[in-house]
Structure 1
Amino acid sequence: MKSFGFLPDGKEVLCYTLTNRNGVEFSVMNYGATITSVRIPVENDSKIDVVLGFDSLEDYIKSYYLPSPPYFGTTVGRFAGRINKAKFILNGKSIHLNKNHGEHSLHGGILGFSRKLWKAMAINLEDNPSISLEYISKENEENFPGELSVRVTYTLTESNELKVCYSAKSSEDTIINLTQHSYFNLDGHQNDVASQKLIVNSDKIVQTNKQLIPTGKLTPLQNHAFDFSSAKNCPLSIDNTFVLNGSEAASLISEKNKLKMSVTTNQPAVHVYVGGNCFGQLRGKENTNYHSTSGICFETQNFPDAPNHSNFPTCILKEGEEYIHSTLFKFENL
């Protein structure tokens, strides 16, 4: 554990590092329950950092004022993705959320979970090291109903898996859609993802309009540019939600570092996004100039705008029930 800086209100942000027996290192800070680095051993006894991020807390804070905030490594909530017109109906009542993306709500609103100070609760440094962080979202925060108690547990297994498990309970019926927003680059965070191979276990994507708002329909991927049922190079531009065929979500392969990452989840979709652009305004870790193809996100989640489409999987969390979201990122040397 080390200090990662101080928020404008004077509260200290701490960064925690877990290491398994194979030398894989994982770091997370309690600002946004944000993954700041994942270092994987590769050939020649070297390690590469495979996620994008910043060297200072100040730059993480500043990044939310970029033309398109990247949300590097954060926990996104209460609702990942877009909600059309920032409104929905729950139990017959019209709910109007804060608008932070034109006329819409994106990634939880103006000050979502990504910009909150979480509390580290349980830390295990033995085999399969883990850390749990908690955040209590007050009733009507960003105008979401109910007080929501959220916990995320990150576990680094001895099989080189990073497990992410979210759980949540609400004081009244609400909506929820959490996700982990790390940008991966198996060639190393300073590089470009374009030459890495992508596989996605899906034959449909969520159809969207020009503002990336779901229409309610699904688009088949047969003969589509985004058919990644077999390995293809990462696209240079993608911001789409894939409907999953089972728990195996996606794989990313670096031929350069002979490294593979597999993503499995209990969620119905994975939103795939290539980006990381800091527009020359901020420098990434190790003074890196992040650009539009610096990393790729695998945002395991429910469908965007789910509360406004009855044919989408429900995103309603009933009072007293528990939300459980698990995702596993497994790293293998090829």
Structure 2
Amino acid sequence: MTTKLAQLKPLRKLMPIMVLALLGAVLTNCETKNEENQDMESTITKEAFGTSGDGEAVDLYTLTNANGMVVQITNYGGIITKWMAPDKDGQMADVVLGFDSLSNYVAGHPFFGALVGRYGNRIAKGEFKLDGETYNTLVKNNGPNHLHGGTKGFDKKVWQAEEMKEGSTVGLKLTTTSADMEEGYPGKLDVTVTYTLTNDGELKIDYQATTDKPTVVNLTNHCYFNLTGLKRDVLDHVVKINSDSLVAVDATLIPTGKLISVTGTAFDFREPTPIGARIDDESDEQIKMGGGYDHCWVIDRVGNNMALAATVYEPTSGRVLEVSTTEPGVQFYTGNFLDGKLSGKGATYSKRMGFCLETEHYPDSPNQPQFPSVTLRPGETYSTSTVFKMSVRK
């Protein structure tokens, strides 16, 4: 017994040292994990991006979520310039068309990633009536019609920007004021658009506006997506649109006033279908009108809450884009007018290199009283939301 006690005495002396060492290891491990968690927090940073055509300073904001997804937005036009998203193997790639420099945007582009207003889409002949008064000075910048807010719409404004961080999300709040009769629209319009990036891969866009005179408003984002990472055209992307009907258009892409069923047409995406499967079916009069898809689908929905409008799957990368919105329609556009004259990020933007899902009220609604109203009056708040969610399917 004496011998055994003698053998234990050194161990007793070592016990406090061993406990301290173990505690130190635990603390070190906790510190390491805390550092890792800090490294994975969502962040937003700001850097100078150049000057606008009017000489205003422009910034670029980088939003990064805890999973490494990156969205870059500039306060010039509220443009989404980059969206880095993983494929099924975890490889990151940019999935939106655009440029690396502000000068390319200022030089002119087909609304890559931009906020569009006051009125997204077309207004026939650049005029409309409101409360018995005719407004006919909207610029005709798309054949005989007005398109996307005019010569200097919201896509060319330098917005005031405010960085946001709340919990696990980061965001960017953009504000601007459009003067009474700016681009031919009545009323001073105060606008706020907030982008929020979540750890679930969602980019939420909240739009709000108020006016001091009756006016019309239809705001949207004009992001061109390519889920291959800009490697090739989008014809193999598989699309599902939750819609039974379509806003029929004439040869200038102005609504005829009729909603037509998609059943038995090239516009039936109620089941997942590759974009290229029927895009050149010129036996369909509407395909001929748009040179492919450039139409507004009526979203199947109940009430005014958020509804899933469309889902897009790219088989090679496994990337999935889901679009949900409070809006009644979504303009599905397949880059029919891209002609290869523009390039960026190592890609040439040729025909059908990107697709858009522009959540919106229907085109030419100010002249179509049977369509959902786009009129905003003093004392009211225009409020609408859209969520673009990126994920992968393995």
TM range (shorter): over 0.9
- Please list the CA deviations of residues 271-296 of structure 1 after superposition, one character each: whole Å capped at 9, or x if unmatched: 0001176534332223x111111111
TM-score, structure 2 normalization: 0.81
- Residue 164 (str. 1) matches residue 205 (str. 2): yes
Cα shift at 1:258? 1.2
Aligned residues with identical type, % of pairs: 40
Read off the aligned partner of 1:10 and give its amino acid letter: G
User: In structure 1, how many angstroms separate the alpha carbons of the residues matched to 2:336 and 2:67?
Assistant: 29
Q: How many residues align?
A: 328
Query: 1:269-308 alignment to 2 at 5 Å?
Result: 269-275=329-335, 279-286=339-346, 288-308=347-367
Cα shift at 1:55? 1.4
Instruction: Kindly indicate which of the two structures has a greater share of residues assigned to helix.
Output: 2
- Please list the CA deviations of residues 35-84 of structure 1 after superposition, one character each: whole Å capped at 9, or x if unmatched: 001111224442011111011111112234xxxxx200000000011100
The answer (yes or no) to whether the contact 1:162–1:330 under 8 Å persists in 2 is yes
Cα shift at 1:112? 0.6
The answer (yes or no) to whether the contact 2:53–2:106 under 8 Å persists in 1 is no
SS in structure 1 of the partner of residue 355 of structure 2: strand
1:320 equivalent among 379, 389, 393: 379
2:149 equivalent among 108, 112, 115: 108
SS in structure 1 of the partner of residue 103 of structure 2: helix
- Cα pair distance change 1:248/1:311, threshold 3 Å: same
Q: Which has the higher contact order (CA 8 A, sep 6+)?
A: 1
- Please list the CA deviations of residues 78-102 of structure 1 after superposition, one character each: whole Å capped at 9, or x if unmatched: 0011100111110110011222222
User: In structure 2, how many angstroms separate the alpha carbons of the residues matched to 1:278 and 1:194?
Assistant: 14
SS in structure 1 of the partner of residue 152 of structure 2: coil
Of residues 272-281 and 232-241 in structure 1, the stretch that sits farther from structure 2 once superposed is 272-281
The answer (yes or no) to whether the contact 1:277–1:290 under 8 Å persists in 2 is no
- Residue 152 (str. 1) matches residue 197 (str. 2): no
- Cα pair distance change 1:190/1:60, threshold 3 Å: farther
Cα shift at 1:318? 1.0
Answer with 1 or 2: which has the greater Rg: 2
SS in structure 2 of the partner of residue 61 of structure 1: helix
Read off the aligned partner of 1:292 and give its amino acid letter: K
Read off the aligned partner of 1:240 and give its amino acid letter: H
- Please list the CA deviations of residues 222-271 of structure 1 after superposition, one character each: whole Å capped at 9, or x if unmatched: 10111000000014421000001021100000111112111110000000
Of residues 9-18 and 266-275 in structure 1, the stretch that sits farther from structure 2 once superposed is 9-18
Query: 1:42-81 alignment to 2 at 5 Å?
Result: 42-64=87-109, 70-81=110-121
- Please list the CA deviations of residues 1-31 of structure 1 after superposition, one character each: whole Å capped at 9, or x if unmatched: 1121112332121110111111111110001
- Please list the CA deviations of residues 204-235 of structure 1 after superposition, one character each: whole Å capped at 9, or x if unmatched: 11011011011100111010111000000014
Of residues 55-64 and 192-201 in structure 1, the stretch that sits farther from structure 2 once superposed is 55-64
Query: 1:160-199 alignment to 2 at 5 Å?
Result: 160-199=201-240
CA RMSD of aligned residues (A): 1.4
- Residue 234 (str. 1) matches residue 275 (str. 2): yes
2:368 equivalent among 294, 304, 309: 309
- Residue 11 (str. 1) matches residue 56 (str. 2): yes
Of residues 229-238 and 164-173 in structure 1, the stretch that sits farther from structure 2 once superposed is 229-238
